[in-house]
Amino acid sequence: MSNHQDSLYNKLNTYGQGEVYPFHMPGHKRNSQLSDSPYSYDITEIDGFDNLHRPRGVLKESMDMATEFYGTRRTYYLVNGSTCGILSAISAVVPQGGTILMARNCHKAVYNAVYLRKLKAKYVYPRKLPDLSILGGIHPKDVEDMIVANPKIKAVVITSPTYEGVVSYVKAIASVTHKYNIPLIVDEAHGAHFSMSEYFPKSAIEQGADIVIQSVHKTLPSMTQTALLHVCGDMIDLNLVERYLSIYQSSSPSYVLMASIDSCIRDVREKGPLGFIKYEENLVKFREKAEKLTHLKLLDKKILGKGAAYDLDLGKLVITVGSITYTGHDLHEELLKKYKLQMEMAASDYVIAMTSLNDTEEGFDRLIEALTEIDRDIRIREGYGQIKALKEDVAENDPTDSVDKAHKVKEAVVCMEVYEALDTETEVCDFAISSGRISAEYIYLYPPGVPVVVPGEMLDRATIDYLLKCKADGLDVCGQMDDTLNEIMVIKENWKEFSYGKNILPDGQKLLGEGYHI
């Protein structure tokens, strides 16, 4: 291994031996006692070690064990992350050029599948959680309305839980899709631990989904890039799933990663729910202490029944900032620089701390002590009067209530299919005045990688202002060609430039967006 001071290995080694506590994935939390050096078992498909793409020996036995443990029709190991599972699942159930219904807050991997397969995408939008900038769940009624309106839909894809831990009413959604003989694919990347304990929500595996994709590395003690694809429903063609897995997965799968999956599943299977008791106790204690905070608040189960939120993963610590001047980015930076606590991500008004059964009691104590001090400082600066009031009334846990238009997410104006927008003639436009133009590229915050803007959608003033604010707040705005967000690629439409005061518009014609183009 290289000894260069600025090498990736030395940088990782320095970070691993430092004082920063990891409230981020992967779920093994850099516990060096879990394994020895990976170099000692980094091999290829040699005699006696089987082949992931044609398993007949030790890998088949390992995946059989996983299949039995999860109670699925078939469970496959993934070494290219949940991304390859999502690509394979969609490719296996939706024919080239077919129509798919997808949640608008799906991961970018779903959009990539839409592009690669030239699919016609129809969107179902998550509801909004009242008084929060966090999206809720997908409403079963919204799914059925879209299926009725678009009878050519071949599959439905949703993300549950969301990055913030919000779980949709998967059982009801599955009942809807099956009523129309349509398979349901659930991106459960952040819910690999759901099956392990009753403290957490029920997995989509148990709720009727046909294909479920989980990232083992996110919340369980497994290495980054490890995931599982579970086939649960009888309407799925296993041969097609395996065909596309052989396309989207590496032909030289890492035995280090496959061993990590095998070891992880065997470990949680042997320990059972008892292995999660200490983790649950730490979460309960932390949340009890956090209730005393005044400006900083934890997302909790008071949201259930609102915004189509059916359940919530309490292992996700979503810390909202009830402050006028203090942002989520500020909280993220202070926790890291002053308290040596690395969060998973920062949004405009909240941060996420990822936890797992490998988190220590000391780690939780350090976090609550830091939050208590920060909360006190905000209180001294701003006073109680500026605390964002959160409604304390708890609605019944029934996400099938009547549609509340106030909690509907603003729908995008889709002008072109994704594959059309990515493969057509484009031009550069000043992002600040791009309202009314059709985007030719993605823009998303990373993490989690859910597109705010999708190719083929019309840009609007609210979205532009939101992304500019995210950039100004120090958030990681990605996807676009221009990292500075000064310019954006848009569809070339031969619009003529004009300036205010020089051009007179025909009677009744309205300006598009800012009016800089006509």
* CA-wise closest residue to 277 among 218, 341, 221, 361: 361
- pLDDT at residue 3 tops 80: no
Determine contact, residues 126/104, Cβ cutoff 8 Å. Answer: yes
- pLDDT at residue 385 tops 80: no
pLDDT of 350-382, one tens digit each? 999 999 999 999 999 999 999 999 999 988 887
Alpha carbons 122 and 119: distance in angstroms, whole number:
9
Determine contact, residues 365/284, Cβ cutoff 8 Å. Answer: no
Query: Residue 196: which residues within 8 A CB-CB, separation 6 or more?
Result: 268, 273, 275, 276
Alpha carbons 207 and 337: distance in angstroms, whole number:
42
Q: Percentage of the chain surpassing pLDDT 90?
A: 67
Alpha carbons 43 and 61: distance in angstroms, whole number:
19
Instruction: Provide the pLDDT for residue 443.
Output: 95
Query: Can you read off the two tokens belonging to residue 142?
Result: 């919204």
- pLDDT at residue 511 tops 80: no
Query: Can you read off the two tokens belonging to residue 121?
Result: 């995408």
- pLDDT at residue 335 tops 80: yes
Between strands 487-491 and 426-430, the pairing is antiparallel
End-to-end CA distance of the chain: 59
Where residue 26 falls among pLDDT bands split at 50, 70, 90? low
Q: What is the rounded average pLDDT of the residues 149-153? A: 98
Instruction: Provide the pLDDT for residue 428.
Output: 94
Alpha carbons 105 and 452: distance in angstroms, whole number:
8
pLDDT of 190-211, one tens digit each? 999 999 999 999 999 999 999 9
Q: What is the rounded average pLDDT of the residues 10-23? A: 70
Instruction: Provide the pLDDT for residue 426.
Output: 95
* CA-wise closest residue to 185 among 128, 98, 100, 256: 100
Element (H, E) at 497: none
Instruction: Provide the pLDDT for residue 389.
Output: 40
pLDDT of 402-422, one tens digit each? 444 445 677 899 999 999 999
Q: What is the rounded average pLDDT of the residues 308-337? A: 93
- pLDDT at residue 383 tops 60: no
Alpha carbons 143 and 103: distance in angstroms, whole number:
9
Alpha helices in 117-254 (DSSP H): 140-149, 170-179, 216-219, 238-248
Determine contact, residues 359/333, Cβ cutoff 8 Å. Answer: no
Q: Percentage of the chain surpassing pLDDT 70?
A: 83
Query: Can you read off the two tokens belonging to residue 202?
Result: 């029920």
Query: Can you read off the two tokens belonging to residue 153?
Result: 């839909």
Between strands 99-103 and 120-124, the pairing is parallel
- pLDDT at residue 388 tops 70: no
Q: What is the rounded average pLDDT of the residues 13-32? A: 68
- pLDDT at residue 39 tops 50: yes
DSSP label at 5?
Answer: T
Q: What is the rounded average pLDDT of the residues 135-156? A: 98
Instruction: Provide the pLDDT for residue 56.
Output: 87
Where residue 154 falls among pLDDT bands split at 50, 70, 90? very high
Dihedrals phi, psi of 497, to nearest 5 degrees: -70, 145
Query: Can you read off the two tokens belonging to residue 498?
Result: 């004009």
pLDDT of 212-228, one tens digit each? 999 999 999 999 999 99
**Domains of the chain, earliest start first:** 37-271 (3.40.640.10), 276-386 (3.90.1150.10), 412-491 (3.90.100.10)
Instruction: Provide the pLDDT for residue 8.
Output: 42
Alpha carbons 211 and 236: distance in angstroms, whole number:
8
- pLDDT at residue 347 tops 80: yes
Question: Which own/partner pairs from 193-200 qualify as long-range (CB within 8 Å, at least 24 positions apart)?
Answer: 193/27, 193/219, 193/220, 193/276, 193/315, 193/356, 193/357, 194/313, 195/70, 196/268, 196/273, 196/275, 196/276, 197/273, 197/276, 197/280, 198/273, 199/276, 199/280, 199/283, 199/314, 200/313, 200/314, 200/315
Query: Residue 17: which residues within 8 A CB-CB, separation 6 or more?
Result: none
* CA-wise closest residue to 173 among 157, 188, 162, 161: 157
How does the average pLDDT of the chain come out, rounded?
86
Query: Can you read off the two tokens belonging to residue 405?
Result: 């238009």
